[in-house]
Structure 1
Amino acid sequence: MRLEPLYQINREQAKQEGREEEGQNLILRLLNRRFGEIDARLIQQVQGLSIEQLENLGEALLDFTTVADLETWFNQQSG
């Protein structure tokens, strides 16, 4: 029995999850730096984003001036 492919899949999945977690942490740090402590609901929304969405949010937050801009961004993503 050969276990290498299964190990490879798990390793790739772990790498992906690690990238997502790092991206989430970076975005949350940037948001906290810009706006101070943000609402737990918004933190959960950030933690639910994919890598691509985190990258898009990272670019968009450069233009945010208020937390309402972040909320608007989330509303646009779901709509």
Structure 2
Amino acid sequence: MAGLTERLLNEGRLEGRQEGRQEGKLDVLLRLLTRRFGPLDAATEQRLQNASVSDLERWTDNILDARTLDEVFATH
């Protein structure tokens, strides 16, 4: 039983770390987008909230070259 409990605790910790990383990436991207393009509309904020980690990373990279908010979200 102790093995199962330990495994579940470890899985919970891993999941918590992953969620924390995703929240951190989201927070950074929200700050960068707002600073660069001004206040974001509700649809854009919702899109960001529902994004995967890979989307958040790609969009964070895109902000360096994007001239518009649409270019941040464009797939290359």
Question: What are the ranges of 5 or more consecutive residues in structure 1 without an aligned counterpart?
Answer: none
Task: State the aligned residue count.
Answer: 74
Once the two structures are superposed, the pairs formed by residues 12-27 of structure 1 within 5 Å of their partners are 12-27=14-29
| Secondary structure class of the residue paired with 1:62 | coil
- Taking only aligned residues, the RMSD between alpha carbons, in angstroms, comes to 1.6
Bigger helix share: 1
**Letter paired with 1:18:** G
Displacement of 1:46 in angstroms is: 1.0
Scaled by the length of structure 1, what TM-score is found? 0.83
- Runs of 4+ aligned residues of structure 1 deviating over 6 Å after TM superposition are none
| Secondary structure class of the residue paired with 2:70 | helix
- Answer with 1 or 2: which has the greater Rg: 2
Question: What are the ranges of 5 or more consecutive residues in structure 2 without an aligned counterpart?
Answer: none
Residue 68 (structure 2) aligns with: 66
Equivalent of 2:54 in 36, 52, 55: 52
Identical counterparts, % of pairs: 36
Scaled by the length of structure 2, what TM-score is found? 0.86
